[in-house]
Amino acid sequence: MPLPRLIPCLDVARGRVVKGVRFEELRDVGDPVALGASYSEAGADELVFLDISATVDARTAAVDVAARVAENVSIPFTFGGGVRSVGDACAVLEAGADKVSVNSAALARPGLIGELAAQLGTQAVVVAIDTRGGRVRSHAATRATERSAVEWAKECEARGAGELLVTSIDRDGTQSGYDLALLERLRDAVALPIIASGGAGNAAHVASALRVVDAALLASILHANPERLASLRSELSELGVPLRDAA
Amino acid sequence: MNVAICSYGAGNTRSVQLAFERLGVRADVVGDVNAVLEADLAVLPGVGSARSAMDGLRRRGLDEALRERAAGDRPVLGICLGLQLALEETEEDGGVAGLGLVPGRAVRLREGRVPRIGWAPLDDGGDTYWYAHSFVAETAATIATSEGLTAVVEHRSFAGVQFHPEKSGAAGARFLAARCLSLA
């Protein structure tokens, strides 16, 4: 297995990184390119940018941000939010992104996963799954669906997803630890790499998740602060988590 | 020196171009045969599926251009799928004939999580690079492995890497700089 990955997640709205609690009270915390570059220097293994502005011009904005990130960062990054078609995905990848992440668009039309995989390769297709109580939710977790998380994960794999980004909505933002039981169920259900999201509050939480799955998405634990990523890396090393030497 | 990055509808050409430009090396994204023949180094990037990638190369005549370069012992660097396409064949998409620049074939990964995505060191203690692949080269031309899997291939003037140097941070930059230096 490749080394465990630490993946800072940057929420982007109208070309700026924003921070907020459950999408409310969004606060501007900086430029996505500058913050992404700082995370890269602090030892990030990959980056995820999620466009949460959800405007009609999200695609244009995403391509512009992806192009500027690619010019300034030489580690892999994923773009999510506003990707609704193969054309959207191609534009973001051509600008320099390595993967796209789809969520509600795939739930609305699961065939999108296969179309993306055929055009971009499975390794470029991340499906984000937001779950609560074993069920999948859509539209930034605001809407319930009838799908079970495990069954949807299997379907995503069969359709050509290359990676799953699994968020426990109950844990998201609570800093009370990842939902390890959920991660174990999904890990056993599919052979795809899995990125854990939601609940990281300290290094021990992250270490526990990385013993179950392949990568940890880091959002509120970092407070948009690259220095926190550097200190987290040291703490994880002390906990025996093997991380890459980024030098 | 100048680098020609083959544009054929299946590569992250922009990322590869940026990686060379960071080193101060001129790199053009090109789809025409002459540009590929004339460059000091031709790079065959590759992201996506084997069959559509080979079709893209053929449509532009780049398959013959790359064979001609190899026959003349002119340097070619294949990255990820670009390495796998240089082999004689790949299992992908029900079996696809490759360029045949290097003896061997690409086979599906059978162990661990697939796709294999992430950072892994070379087994000889060398640098750590980023990988994203579901198939891997089986060839006698392997000169370095990562987790037992082919990571670097060299055969006459062809060099191929399974990892993505253009996305491997400082280690990737060192790798590309060394390649350019070896050709200067």
Q: What is the pLDDT of residues A61-108, one digit of tens each?
A: 788 899 999 999 999 999 998 788 999 899 999 999 999 999 999 999
Nearest of B76, B82, B77 to residue B56 by alpha carbon = B82
Measured between CA atoms, how close is A81 to chain B, in angstroms? 21
Q: Which structure tokens are listed for B26?
A: 């001129």
Give yes or no for A193 touching B (CB within 8 A). Answer: yes
Least confident of A132-141, B119-128, B165-174: A132-141
Report the greatest alpha carbon distance in chain A. Answer: 46
Contacts of B112 in chain A (CB under 8 A): 1
Would you call A98 and B15 a contact, using CB atoms and an 8 Å cutoff?
Answer: yes
Residue A59 clears pLDDT 70, i.e. is over it: no
Q: Is position B80 annotated as part of the catalytic site?
A: yes
ipTM (interface predicted TM): 0.95
Residue A102: exposure state from Cβ atoms within 10 A (0-12, 13-18, ≥19): buried
Mean pLDDT computed over B6-32: 93
Which single residue is written with the structure tokens 């579901």? Answer: B134
Q: Is position B166 annotated as part of the catalytic site?
A: yes
Q: How far is CA A235 from CA A196, A204, A218, in A?
A: 19, 8, 15
* Strand positions, DSSP E, A66-203: 77-80, 99-102, 125-132, 135-138, 143-148, 163-168, 194-197
- Taking CB atoms within 8 Å and a gap of at least 24, the contacts of A29-36 are A29/A224, A30/A224, A32/A65, A32/A68, A32/A69, A33/A65, A33/A68, A33/A69, A33/A71, A33/A72, A33/A73, A35/A10, A35/A224, A35/A226, A36/A10, A36/A69, A36/A72, A36/A73, A36/A77
The one catalytic residue among B80, B133, B155, B180: B80
pLDDT attached to residue B140 = 98
Mean pLDDT computed over A173-191: 94
Residue B34: exposure state from Cβ atoms within 10 A (0-12, 13-18, ≥19): exposed
> For residues A151 and A158, what is the distance between their CA atoms, to the nearest angstrom?
11
Measured between its terminal Cα atoms, the distance across chain B in Å is 7
Angle subtended at Cα A225 by Cα A223 and Cα A227, rounded to the nearest 5 degrees: 135
Mean pLDDT computed over B69-88: 97
pLDDT attached to residue A51 = 87
Give yes or no for A242 touching B (CB within 8 A). Answer: no
Sign of CA dihedral A230, A236, A238, A242: negative
Mean pLDDT computed over A97-125: 94
Mean pLDDT computed over A140-155: 93
Measured between CA atoms, how close is B71 to chain A, in angstroms? 30
Would you call A123 and B112 a contact, using CB atoms and an 8 Å cutoff?
Answer: no
Residue A139: which pLDDT band, with cuts at 50, 70 and 90?
A: confident
Q: Which structure tokens are listed for A88?
A: 């959207």
Nearest of B10, B133, B57, B49 to residue A76 by alpha carbon = B133
Mean pLDDT computed over A232-241: 97
- Residue A21 CB neighbours (<10 A): 10
> For residues B120 and B146, what is the distance between their CA atoms, to the nearest angstrom?
7
Chain B residue closest in CA terms to A188: B113
Would you call B169 and A246 a contact, using CB atoms and an 8 Å cutoff?
Answer: yes
> For residues A1 and B119, what is the distance between their CA atoms, to the nearest angstrom?
9
What are the DSSP calls for A50-66, one per residue? EE----TTHHHHHHHHH
Would you call B47 and A123 a contact, using CB atoms and an 8 Å cutoff?
Answer: yes
Pairing, β A194-197 against β A215-218? parallel
What are the DSSP calls for B95-151, one per residue? -EE---SSS-EEEE--SSSSSEEEEEE-TTS--EEEEEESEEEE-TTEEEEETTEEE
> For residues B89 and A150, what is the distance between their CA atoms, to the nearest angstrom?
36
**Which of B119, B127, B136, B149 to probe by mutation at the A interface, max A CB count within 10 Å?**
B119
Quick one: CA torsion of A85, A156, A209, A79, rounded to 10 degrees? Answer: -10
Residue B183 clears pLDDT 80, i.e. is over it: yes
pLDDT attached to residue A56 = 55
Residues 6+ away with beta carbon under 8 Å from A200: A175, A177, A178, A206, A209, A216, A218, A219, A220, A221
The one catalytic residue among A88, A98, A130, A214: A130
The one catalytic residue among B92, B133, B166, B180: B166
Contacts of B121 in chain A (CB under 8 A): 244
Give me the residue from A67, A162, A244 closest to B119, CB to CB: A244
Residue A22 clears pLDDT 60, i.e. is over it: no
